[in-house]
Copies of this chain bind each other. A is one copy, B any other.
Amino acid sequence: MPRAATTSDVFNAIAEPRRRAIVDALVDGRAHTVGEVAERLRIPQPAASKHLRVLRSVGIVTVSRRGRHRLYRLNAKELKPVHDWVKTFDRFWTHHLSRVKERAERKMTAR
């Protein structure tokens, strides 16, 4: 069986580079139309719609209507699980720990 659906798993949803680009494009916190996103990423409108749909299905973006436009907004809180997971490894590239502390941490996580 394939992996968990992109439409239900945040990690999977952001595995697609264009979707990360969309998230990046929405980081200003403002609402953006599908057309704006499509133009910004230089992808056809249906592609933008589809990617936005995936992001919406996992809650990373929210939609509202205004006239014939759909306004998409970033809902970055949904990325927290990703942050939480990857943060458990940041000590591997952060060198602020003394050697003693390092060993202690290793011991702790070794359980």
Contacts and interface: CB of A to CB of B under 8 A. Distances in A.
Given A9-B15, A16-B3, A92 B109 contact: no
A93 B80 contact: yes
B28 A4 contact: no
Contact of A28 (B3, B64, B77, B109): B109
A17 interface: yes
A88 B27 contact: yes
Contacts of A87: 83
A14 interface: yes
A41 interface: no
Interface in A82-107: 82-83, 85-90, 92-93, 105-106
Given A79-B86, A83-B87, A87-B83, A108 B73 contact: yes
Contact of A110 (B4, B12, B28, B63): B28
